[in-house]
Every structure is written in structure tokens, then in C-alpha cells.
Structure 1
């Protein structure tokens, strides 16, 4: 009887948190923009090229042009650039200007070393020869001082081969993918004249990054019943095997007997930035406060694998795809009543993630993602299976779409505007591990963690930020979210909720090692919270140390 009551939507907001909900809250991370992209370190040393010699006052009646040395573009593609010069009397400077059009066309399309020039020639019948040096690699020299072995550091650069035409985007992508390897610092490169005319030697310097880094944090972001105050730590070990691999471990403990740990490992494969990896996490919790008498506790374990593939890698635009599979085991027990609810999820996820830097309105950064999840939920206890069959019907196959969009827009040297939107659409009623969540420090900040959970909904944030000093930032914000409690309701109870708040935030950073994030939020929509005490305003604070 107790479980049947807890399964109804009318009680969903006041029911004891379970393993799925707690896991979702624990692994929730703030929507983030990509870190500032360091300028691409690419120096170009140009070599001179002899050109047609003629007296400055000499003029030539041009009847046509003959283009030679071009392989990237056919002559028919280049000739229209020169049509207006045919039939004119041009001096040497005029002919050089015409040849420069071809140079500009190549460089506008990313061939940064291409150069069209007037070779030594005798002009007959007014036909002028224009030679094109498209700019090819002579050889590629790598100076590797990173934590990555030479053969592994060379992998992203293998897409650049001697004899290939130097193309900006392809070169930029290879250098950035090299810099993405764990254990590699900021890559620098130089193109210098090669051993033959029209070729360049590419020198690539690959410095080392730190072997180990991590952080320790203290916050009050947790769920009241599993511990609002939390201590967290993370550690990253770069290239432990010397192949650009990465090992991460994260841990968290609360003041109400919640424990969480996660370990992941990923390794690069091939020359195109592909990464494959695996992860394992475990969570254990006991409920306190008003639910202490239930003697409720549970566990969540997740094991998964993933593959990520950069599709576009540039300084100003990036797009990547990710496919992952996770098996999740959830167990909840209420010892006071001797009940147990064990269930498994098997989820496949395909996602696209990207970011864009532009100069619109003074410059800004946009980040976006879309993901599709298809999963299977199975109950292992007959009573839980029976209760689900007469209520939410969550067991079986389900699908979930998630969308997010973020924008940080520069307004002035000190003011910026930040906006974020995320949404979830579900095919049916979901287990709590897959539900959309509104409340908490990463959602509608006027409400506690655990408030406003449902199968689908949206969340939007708008912040006006002011850089008081390089270390201090102030912000005023507005959060609003809406959630549908059950995709397919089975009672006549209210099935949706809208939450909103306004507030102020203060952020402090010091010497890249210390940071404090704090927020004060007042509710403006949604009424009194159900999942925690009625604090208005609500205070959130997080302090972190990075090493």
C-alpha cells in the first residue's frame, strides 16, 4: 500500500528520494561554455619569387591569360576572375594586380601559402601566363617534449603529408587535435621555406602539460534528505600510459550518509581525434531528516562505454558526435516496511555537441547540444512490477530527447549577457533516473534540490554579468522552468508545475587556484517548495580549490 501511494503523481513531489533521483542529482553538472581558445601558434615565413621583368612604363594589350601550376581549382574556375582585364592595356603593376586576384581567391578559401605570380616570359599575341604556386608541404618536423610518446603525438599530424597542398582548416584541425591529447600543452608551429620552390617545411613544437591536476570543493548543493552539505574531489591523470590517454576519478560525500564515486578512462584512436572510453560509478545513500524513521537506503551502480568523434575542429567552430551505452542498477529499500525496489536500465545515447565563436555585437560564444536516448527499464521485484503495471507503466522501452543552447554575449568591456535553455521530451512515463529536474543550484535557484521533477519540461536562465575586477564578478539573474510530471497521467491530479525566481550572484576567482560561487534567489512563481524548508531567499554557495 505504501509503495502504491508513493507512485501516484499527487505524492511525487513529497515522496522519499530514491536511487534514480539521487543519482540524477549527483551527476548533474552546470551547463558550461567552452574555455577560451588560445590563439593558434602558427608562424609563416614567406620566400620570395622572381616575377616578370619589364620597364615600369611598358604596357601590354591583353588578349587572354594562360594559368599554369593550378591543381586545386581548374582553369575554368579561375579564368572568370580575370575577364575584365582582357582587352585592356596593362603595365607590370596592373598585371601583378590581376595575378593577385588568384592569390586572394586561394587564400580566401583557406590556402594560406598559395601565390600567383607572373613568371619570366615573352608575351606573344597578348596572352599573359600566370603561374600558381599552391604551397605544398616539403616535410613535417615534430619536436615532441610532451608526456605523450612520439608515435602517439604524431598521429593527428599524419593527415598532413609531404606533397599535400597547405590548407588552413586542415592544418588548424590537425594542430588542435594534437593539442587535445592528454599530456600535451599549447602546440606551436612554423611554416618555413622548403627545399624546393613552392614548398614549405612544417615545424611543430609539442610541449608538455601537467601530469596530474584536480580539485576539492565544498558546497550546499545537495538534497536535504541525503545531505545538503557536500565535500567533493576530483583527480585527472594525463597520459598515464604515454599514449594521450586520460584517467579521471571523482568522489563525493555528504553530511547525511551519501557516498558517490566515479572512475573513467579514455584513450585516443587513430588520426582524427577519435576517443573510446569506459566509466564506472557507484552511489550509496541513507535518507535522513523527516524520512529518518523509514530507515530508507539504497544504491546505484553504473557501468558504461563511449566513443566520441570530432566532426569539425576549429578555433571558431567545433562539432563532435558521441555514442554511449550505460547499464544502471538501482536498488531502494525501506526497512521499516520491509520493501525493496530493484530495477535495471540499459541506455543507448547518441549526441551532437558544438560551440561557435563569433564577432556578433562585440563578440560572443554559443554552445549547443542535442541527444537521443533509447532505453529499456526492467523491474526485478514482483511487487514493484505489479505496482508499475497499474500506475505509471514505466517498465519497458522508452525514448528521450534532450536539447540545450547557451550564449555568452559581450556587451561592453565589463558587461556581458548570458542565456541558457534546456529541454527534455519523453516518449512515455520515465523512471526517476531519467526525469527532468527544475530545482537546485543548477536550475531554478529559488527552490531546493529535488523540487519539480517530471518526465519532460524546459528550463531557461538569463544573467546580466558585470566584471567588477578581474577576480570579482557580479550578476543579476532570472530562472524559469516548467515540468510535466507524467507524460501519460493515470489520475486526475495536477500534472504540471512552473517555477521561477530572480536573484543575484557573486563569483570570485583567485590565481587560477581558488574560486567561490554564491547566489541569493527569491521565488517569483511556483508557490511554497515541497522538497525542503521554505527559505526565501535561498542561498547557494560553493568553494573550490584547484591544483
Structure 2
């Protein structure tokens, strides 16, 4: 019985091969990006929110009306990694005859402002006690170090979890914008909460207390969308619904469930669960998706249909996340069970795959331009589980393994 039907199928070999290619393409197209972990709808989900409030004072001097000449400055800032050219310009503007303490204060404040807007939010320039018979003035810049790191938590997120996320910030470390923003964004990225860092004077000279205020944002987010990326054979127009729950257990977790249907015969449903693990805002998650389709149009007569089930484990490690740029490592494992059948000829196309992947995902903003990019390296193994799949693999020169 099987051989007679195979002969009948052989007469339409070209049509069947086209159908096989179409089914493979349909399966790929039918699984929308939302069925994959980490693939949120850009611009629709919650935007991470952070803030930095600087309450550390600038250096102040008493008024002194005498005038003097500044021939040269010696700037002592051994712990700062800054572009020298702008600093030289600021110092040159403070040189000359007829200078006063007020003029020196303006130079000191200009240096402080430059440092705080170029990576050192708690830095402070000051004028140490000195004699200057030759008109050479010594200025010093302290970078600002953490004295105490406290958490003011009014969110659902449990405080011990928040402490693990910001664990990279340590007492006596130099306060830098890069590390501070990355820690605050890690809280927001992982939990959906809003994190604000407040810098205030520390107990010792040159130190600042950091208070991280964590506030709840939305508990959930619902998105309904319509797009036309589908295949004509399974439905050009597709309609999706996604529901995201942020931090439902207080451990920094996220639940994502959704579905997609087409105006044809495509159905796709998925669920992901992701939670904070370890330190620094790293996350680990599991997901499952199920997709079914039937090919319509002229190919409906041969009964081309299929289904796939995907189980995935995925993780994400933030490398840095700042206001204008971000970079993270992502990795994962996928198991897919695929069926692409031709029911009119009792042909069952069964196969499964195992794959692992690792890559980078990042963003860069400059002016009004924004660039999102990603790269992945994937290694996998394909296994055929039916005679029809084996034949198609031979025809298309796709071997197992």
C-alpha cells in the first residue's frame, strides 16, 4: 500500500519537493520572534528607568579680595582617567594676572563639573593649603569613593535580591558613572522596577554614601499587535497577544505568555519564565512554544500540515548598560521536535534538533540615532525520525548530525 502511494507521489515529485521546501520555510516563518526567549516587542514593553541624584557639595572657599598672578597650574589627579586636552583648556582659562580667590573657585568648580559629567559623578576639585611664591598653584581632584551603600526599597523586589544585583558596587571603590549606571539598569532590566542612585556626603573626606531607591513600576504589561510578516500559504496577516508579569514572586522574575494566530491556519502559543540568578543582574530562564499550521491555497489539496514543539533554556549576563549604550552576553539550549506532513500521501516528515548558542546583544545611541545589534554562534545536531524526512534530506543535501 505504501509503495503504490509512493509511485503516485513520484509522478508529482516536483510538486512534493516544492511543498517540502515551502513547509520548511513555513515552519521557520510561522514561529514568530516572540516565541523565542528574550524577544520582546521593541518599544512596547517597559523601558528600564534609572536616575542618579548628586547631593555631594562642590568645594567652597572663603571670600578673599586680594589679587595675584597665576603663572601655572599643577593638577594632581592620579586616580582619574580623563582626556587631558579639555582639562588643559580649563586650566589655561584660569591663568593670568589680576586673579582672585573667586577666580580660582570658578576654575575649581569648572574642573569638578567636567569630572562629574565625564564619568566620575562624585569627583571634587579643591585647592589644598600651599605657598605659591612663583605663581604656580597646585589643584587636586579626588575621584570620590563609596563610603556606604544602602538600599531604600519600596518595591515588590526582595531586598536581598537587590543586594545581589548591585553587588559589583563596593565600599572604598572609586565611583564611576559606568559601573553605577550598569548596576541601576541591571535592577531595572531584571525586575521592571525603577532604580535611582542618590549620592550624599560620606563620613570621611572624599567619600559619598550611595542610597539606591527602588520603586515599583507596572506589575504587568499587555500587548496586542497585528503584522503582515506571514506567508500567503498560512496567512499573511497575523494577530498576537502577549502578557508579561513583572516580579510576581519578589525574586526578580518575569513571566511571559502569549499567542499568535493568522488569517490562515497558523497557531502559535508560548510561555517563558525568567529569574535573577547569582550576582550582577544575570538571569536564567526556561521556555516552551507550540506551533501548528496547515498550508492553504492550491497546496491545500495535498494536505501539507505540520507542528513543532520547542523547549529552551536561556540566560543573559549584562556586561554593561549605560544611558547611551549597552552590551550583554546571551546563551541557551534549544530542543525542537518538528513534523511536516503530506497527509494526502501519508507522508510523515519527522525530525528533531538539539542546539546551543551564545552571542552578544547591544545598543548604541548618539544624538538622535539609535543602533541595535546582535550576533549569535549556534551549534546543533539534526536527526531524522521518518523515512520521508530522510529522503528530503538526501534530495536537499542536508545530512544528519
> TM-score, normalized by length of structure 1?
0.60
- State yes or no: 1:318 paired with 2:326: yes
Aligned to 2:202: 194
Q: Where does 1:112-511 land on structure 2 (aligned, <5 Å)?
A: 112-123=121-132, 128-184=137-193, 186-217=194-225, 222-228=230-236, 230-254=238-262, 256-359=264-367, 363-389=368-394, 391-397=395-401
Q: 1:286 to 1:195 in 2, by over 3 A?
A: same
Higher helix proportion (structure 1 or 2): 2
Q: 1:253 to 1:54 in 2, by over 3 A?
A: closer
1:141/1:202 contact within 8 Å kept: yes
Aligned to 2:3: none
Whole-Å separation in 1 of the counterparts to 2:75 and 2:233: 80
Q: What is the CA-CA distance between 1:330 and the residue it aligns to?
A: 1.0
Q: What is the CA-CA distance between 1:55 and the residue it aligns to?
A: 4.1
Whole-Å separation in 1 of the counterparts to 2:208 and 2:237: 59
- State yes or no: 1:111 paired with 2:120: yes
**Deviation digits for residues 153-205 of structure 1 (CA, Å, limit 9, x no counterpart):** 23232222232222112111111111112241x32332222333332222322
Whole-Å separation in 1 of the counterparts to 2:96 and 2:232: 83
1:147/1:183 contact within 8 Å kept: no
Report the 3-state secondary structure (helix = DSSP H, G, I; strand = E; otherwise coil) of the residue aligned with 2:151.
strand
Aligned to 1:46: 56
**Deviation digits for residues 284-325 of structure 1 (CA, Å, limit 9, x no counterpart):** 233444333333433211112122222221111112222222
Whole-Å separation in 1 of the counterparts to 2:12 and 2:247: 48
Aligned to 2:30: 25
Q: What is the CA-CA distance between 1:90 and the residue it aligns to?
A: 6.9
Whole-Å separation in 2 of the counterparts to 1:321 and 1:4: 48
Whole-Å separation in 2 of the counterparts to 1:84 and 1:233: 61
Whole-Å separation in 1 of the counterparts to 2:50 and 2:145: 20
Q: 1:264 to 1:203 in 2, by over 3 A?
A: same
Report the 3-state secondary structure (helix = DSSP H, G, I; strand = E; otherwise coil) of the residue aligned with 1:56.
coil
Whole-Å separation in 2 of the counterparts to 1:151 and 1:220: 45
2:291/2:307 contact within 8 Å kept: yes
Whole-Å separation in 1 of the counterparts to 2:91 and 2:43: 46
Q: 1:329 to 1:4 in 2, by over 3 A?
A: farther
Higher strand proportion (structure 1 or 2): 1
Q: 1:165 to 1:367 in 2, by over 3 A?
A: same
**Deviation digits for residues 504-542 of structure 1 (CA, Å, limit 9, x no counterpart):** xxxxxxxxxxxxxxxxxxxxxxxxxxxxxxxxxxxxxxx
**Deviation digits for residues 366-410 of structure 1 (CA, Å, limit 9, x no counterpart):** 222233333222212234324532x2111235xxxxxxxxxxxxx
- Any stretches of 5+ residues in structure 1 without a counterpart? 398-547
- Greater relative CO, 1 or 2 (CA 8 Å, sep 6+): 2
1:62/1:85 contact within 8 Å kept: no
> What is the CA RMSD across the aligned residues, in angstroms?
3.8
Aligned length: 386
Report the 3-state secondary structure (helix = DSSP H, G, I; strand = E; otherwise coil) of the residue aligned with 1:159.
coil
1:157/1:271 contact within 8 Å kept: yes
